Amino acid sequence: MATRGESTRALILDAAGRAFARLGYDGASLTGDILEPAGVSTGSFYHQFSGKRSLLTAVLDDATDNLRGLLDSGHRSGPQPDADGLLARATAGWHLLLLAVDAAPDVALVVRREAHNRDPEIRAAVARFNAVQRDAFRVRLDELAVPGLDLDAAARMVGALAVGLVEDYLAIEPDEREAQRDRLSEQAARFTLAGMAGMGAQADG
C-alpha cells in the first residue's frame, strides 16, 4: 500500500504531466494548473520537490523508467511476431512504440514541447528519455539483420520517422487510436524496411 507521501507525489506528477503537456513548462502555473487540480498544498509540494524545474524533470525521469520497463517486457506487450518474418518483427516494434504513447500520451507531448527548453537540466531529462527510445530502435534494427546497414544512421532515420508517427497518432481521437494502431504500425514497418534495404544496398555499393 502506498504511503501518504507516495500518494501525494503521484497526484502531483499526474497533474503536472497534464499541465506541462497542455501549457508547456513556462506556461504552466505551479499553483493554479498543478497543485490546485491535484488537491495538494504548497507545503506538501515542497516536501516532495524543490520547485517547478525538479517537478518537470521528475515527470520525465519517471516516464523514462516506465518506458524502459515497457520496452524490456515488449515481447509480451505487443503482437508476437514470427521469428523469421522481418515485416512482423518490424511491425511489432512500431506497435510497441504506439503502446508506449498510449500508456503516457501526456509525456509524449511534454517531450516534444521541452526538447529545446533553454534550461540544461530539463534538456538533459528529455535527452535521457530519448536515449532510451533511441537505444530501443537500435536494438530492434540490429535484430532485423539487414546486410551492410549502418545502425547508427538507421536509428537516426527511424527516430525522425517516429517523431512524425507519434505526432499523427496523437492527432487521432483517443478512443479511435486502438483501431488505427495496427494499420499505422504495419505502414511504418514497411516504410522502415524499404528504407533500411536501400541504406544497406547503398553501403554495399
Sequence letter at residue 30: L
Please check the confidence at residue 75 and state whether its pLDDT lies above 60.
no
Do 82 and 140 sit in the same domain of this protein? yes
CATH number of the domain where residue 123 is located = 1.10.357.10
Identify the residue with better confidence: 109 or 146: 109
Residue type, 74: G
Number of domains in the chain: 2
Residue 30's CATH number: 1.10.10.60
Task: List the grid coordinates of 102.
Answer: 498510449
Residue 175 C-beta-side C-alpha neighbours within 13 Å: 0
pTM score: 0.79
Residue 7 CB neighbour total at 10 angstroms: 12
Non-local (6+) Cβ contacts of 125 within 8 A are: 56, 57, 60, 61, 64
Beta carbons within 8 Å of 39's beta carbon, 6+ residues apart? 11
What single DSSP character describes residue 147? T
Q: Which cell numbers hold the place of 30?
A: 505551479
Asked if pLDDT for residue 169 goes beyond 50, the answer is yes
Q: Choose between 2 and 130: higher pLDDT.
A: 130
Same domain, 33 and 58: no
Whether 17 shows a pLDDT value over 50: the answer reads yes
Given 26, 49, 72, the domain boundary residue is: 49
Domain enclosing residue 10, as ranges: 1-49
| Spatial CA neighbour of 148 closest among 85, 198, 83, 93 | 198
State the average pLDDT over residues 151-156.
Answer: 80
